[in-house]
Structure 1
Amino acid sequence: MGADELSATLWRGRRQLDFLLFLLETQLLHLRAGHWHRLNFTASELEKVIENLRFESLARGVEATSLATEWQAPDRSTLPALVEIAPEGIWAGLLDEHRRAMVLLVENIDTAVAANISALETGPDKAGSDGDELELLAIQANIQRALTAVREASLPLLREFLGISWRDVREEPPKPSGT
């Protein structure tokens, strides 16, 4: 049952990653359209999905450790290591398919994160803003909240589990946040 449970956990993780990508893309559309007042909503949704991904990370760790024990592998085996030692049958192919799909999602998330950070750091055109000073302060606070949420989407523990080295991405890893 260990491989079944890990596979189910990976499916849930894939859905959460896809939702994270959707939210990042949605936020970017709002930023490019100049809808800075929407940041409060988009940042809140990003925070929720990142929290869900933290929970999935814990579940994935438990299931992967259980499967590693069942397959007599080291406790903190990565997904590629589990694929390598999988017994004959469907599990090597299925787990590798999960890995490939999740790596693709992480790569797309990286692209969306970079685009969001760039747009957020540029900020709204203050010269063309009709808002008052209080509104501009609220927008700036929401920009900082959104930047924090977007940076949390780096998913260092997932990268480790998938066997993605930081050399494979364009920037250095952030401080671990638990996902």
Structure 2
Amino acid sequence: MTLSTLSETLWAERRLLEMLRFRLEVHELVLASGRLHALAQAGRELSRTLDAVHTADLGRAVDSDGAATELGLAPGASLGEITAAAPPPWSDMLQAHHHALTELVTDIRRLADRNQQLLQDSAPAAGAERDDAR
């Protein structure tokens, strides 16, 4: 069943977004600690996780289109539209996924903004360290 496949895909995407949130938290801790030598490694791990999230997002789009078609909706229907059209118990499961994904994305945006601010704040300090090393 296509709704089952979509639900499995959403679980996988949630796990990846949880990993992305964790990687952003690690990145934030590295920046806040001033241990800039660890920044490159934290950045590489963050980049790999972002790549996995983007790949999963493509898979979700395919599975969402299949579920939408199965429910008589047009391809490209949103998760909210699919949830509204899905019969129980799928509607409840998809609603739970939608809620969890929304919370994860909110956390990720907040962490990304915080990391951006920390990067901007640490740039002058990193330049001063390079100057002192000369």
Residue 127 of structure 1: how far off its partner (Å): 7.8
Deviations 1:76-120 (A, max 9, x none): 000000011112x20111000000001000011111011100000
Report the 3-state secondary structure (helix = DSSP H, G, I; strand = E; otherwise coil) of the residue aligned with 1:6.
helix
Cα distance in 1, alignment partners of residues 127 and 6 from structure 2: 52
CA deviations over 1:38-67 (Å, ceiling 9, x no partner): 111011011111110111011101101111
List runs of 5+ in structure 2 lacking aligned partners. none
SS of the residue aligned with 2:117? Answer: helix
SS of 2:129's equivalent?
A: coil
Identity %: 29
1:3 corresponds to: 3
CA distance, structure 1, for counterparts of residue 32 and residue 53 of structure 2 = 27
In the alignment, the residues of structure 2 paired with residue 76 and residue 31 of structure 1 have an alpha-carbon distance, to the nearest angstrom, of 39
- The letter for the 1-side match of 2:21 is L
AA partner of residue 132 (structure 1): A
Change (3 A) 1:32 1:65: same
Structure 2 residue 129 is the aligned partner of structure 1 residue 132 = no
Distance 1:126-1:65 versus aligned 2 partners, 3 A rule: closer
Distance (whole Å) between structure 2 residues aligned to residue 49 and residue 42 of structure 1? 11
Task: Please state if 1:111 is matched with 2:110.
Answer: yes
Structure 1 residues 77 and 35 mapped into 2: Cα distance closer, same or farther (>3 Å)?
same
TM-score (norm 2): 0.92
State the distance in 2 between where 1:41 and 1:90 align: 43
Q: Tell me, yes or no, if structure 1 residue 71 matches structure 2 residue 71.
A: yes
Question: In 1, Cα distance between the equivalents of 2:62 and 2:33?
Answer: 42
Aligned residue pairs, count: 132
Matches within 5 A, 1:34-49: 34-49=34-49
Deviates more, 1:116-125 or 1:57-66: 116-125
Greater share of residues in helix: 2
Partner of 1:25: 25
Question: Counterpart of 2:61 in structure 1: which amino acid?
Answer: G
Q: State the partner residue of 1:92.
A: 91
Q: Give the match for residue 80 of structure 2.
A: 80
Which one-letter code corresponds to 2:103 in the other structure?
L
Deviation, structure 1 residue 122: 1.2
